[in-house]
Amino acid sequence: MNNTTHLPVNPYLPAPLALPLSLVPGKTYSQVMARLLNKLFGPELADGELDFLEGKIMRVDVVDAKLHFSITLSQGVLAAADTKCPHDLSIEGSIYDFLLLATRREDADTLFFNRRLRLGGDTELGLYVKNFLDALELDDRIGPFLQMMNGATTLIGRIPRLAIPKLPFPKLGRRS
C-alpha cells in the first residue's frame, strides 16, 4: 500500500516565453513593482497597514518566469531594494501559483501547505504579509486587470507540463 500523496501538476511558463522576461534585470522589476504597488496599496500605505515592512527587504522569485524583485518600505513608501542585498523574507513560486493567489482562486494557506509557494527567512514577517493580502479587497480597484489576470491564469493552467521522453541511445561498440 502506498501512502504518498500526489499533488496536482503545477503548470509553468514554458521556457521560450520566460526567456524575454529573464533578460530584464531584477533592479528594473523591483522599480516597476514598487511603483505599481504604491499605486495599488495607496490607501493601505496611508493608513500604515504596511508599516511592518519598514526597513525590511522582501524578495519575490517567480521561478518559471526567471524573474525576481525586492521591495522595502521606507518612510511610508514602497521602494525598490537591491536584489543583491540580503533579504528578510523571500517568497518563491511559479507564475501560475502567484496568479492563483492574486485572483483568489486559491488561498495562501493552501499554496504554502502544498509547497507550491515557498517562504524563507523571517516567518513572522511572512505571516504579516499573508494576513495583509488575505484582508485586502481589490476587486473594485482593479476590476478589468483582475479579469485579465483570470484569463492568464486559465491560459497557463491549460499548458500541459511536457515530459521529455527518454530516447534510447545506441550502444557504442566496435564494429566488426
Note down the domain range covering 135: 15-158
Phi first, then psi, for residue 70 (nearest 5°) are -130, 135
Residue 74 belongs to domain with CATH number: 3.30.1050.10
Total domains in the fold of the chain: 1
500500500: which residue's cell?
A: 1
Question: What are the pLDDT digits (tens) for 12-70?
Answer: 776 777 777 777 787 888 999 999 999 999 999 999 999 999 999 999 999 988 889 99
DSSP string, 108-165: HHHHHHTTSSEEEE-HHHHHHHHHHHHH---TTTSHHHHHHHHHHHHHHHHS--PPPP
87 in any annotated domain: yes
pTM value surpassing 0.85? no
165 in any annotated domain: no
149 in any annotated domain: yes
Contact 67, 59 (CB under 8 A): no
41 in any annotated domain: yes
114 in any annotated domain: yes
